[in-house]
Amino acid sequence: MRTLGKKIGIDLGTTSIIVYVEGKGVVYKDPSVVAIDNHSGKILAIGKEAKEMVGRTPGSITAIQPMKDGVIADYDIVEEMIRWYIRKICGR
């Protein structure tokens, strides 16, 4: 995948997501966890930050793993995760 001249690789795993940038190596190795507000459906946190919220948040926030047994279980959430990491890499 090429974005703004950067070559990146993203490994979507059941337990972790690994993001590689050519010339930099692995830049992210985070848990495949997303924290979602149950009322609005809005993503509140992704990766390490979302995992840290598990058990420490009100009932209105749910932490989910959008990958199950090596396959995408929630396409919309995985799409947002990928967008989030690309924005972080590109500095947006």
Kindly state whether residue 21 falls inside one of the protein's structural domains: yes
Instruction: Write out the two tokens for 32.
Output: 């495949």
Instruction: Write out the two tokens for 88.
Output: 């972080």
Number of structural domains found in the chain: 1
* pLDDT at residue 18, as a whole number: 96
Tell me the whole-structure pTM to 2 decimals: 0.80
How many C-beta atoms surround the C-beta of residue 20 within 10 A? 15
* pLDDT at residue 17, as a whole number: 95
* pLDDT at residue 91, as a whole number: 79
Kindly state whether residue 78 falls inside one of the protein's structural domains: no
CATH of the domain at 27: 3.30.420.40
Kindly state whether residue 91 falls inside one of the protein's structural domains: no
* pLDDT at residue 58, as a whole number: 74
Identify the domain containing residue 48 by its residue range. Answer: 2-66
* pLDDT at residue 3, as a whole number: 46
In tens digits, what is the pLDDT along the chain, a chain of 92 residues?
544 577 899 999 999 999 999 999 999 999 999 999 999 999 999 999 999 888 887 778 889 999 999 899 999 999 999 999 999 888 76
Determine the Cα–Cα distance for residues 60 and 71; give it in Å rounded to an integer: 27
Kindly state whether residue 83 falls inside one of the protein's structural domains: no
Kindly state whether residue 12 falls inside one of the protein's structural domains: yes
* pLDDT at residue 60, as a whole number: 83
- Taking 3-state DSSP, the helix, strand and coil percentages for the chain, each rounded to the nearest 5, stand at 25, 40, 35
Kindly state whether residue 23 falls inside one of the protein's structural domains: yes
Kindly state whether residue 44 falls inside one of the protein's structural domains: yes
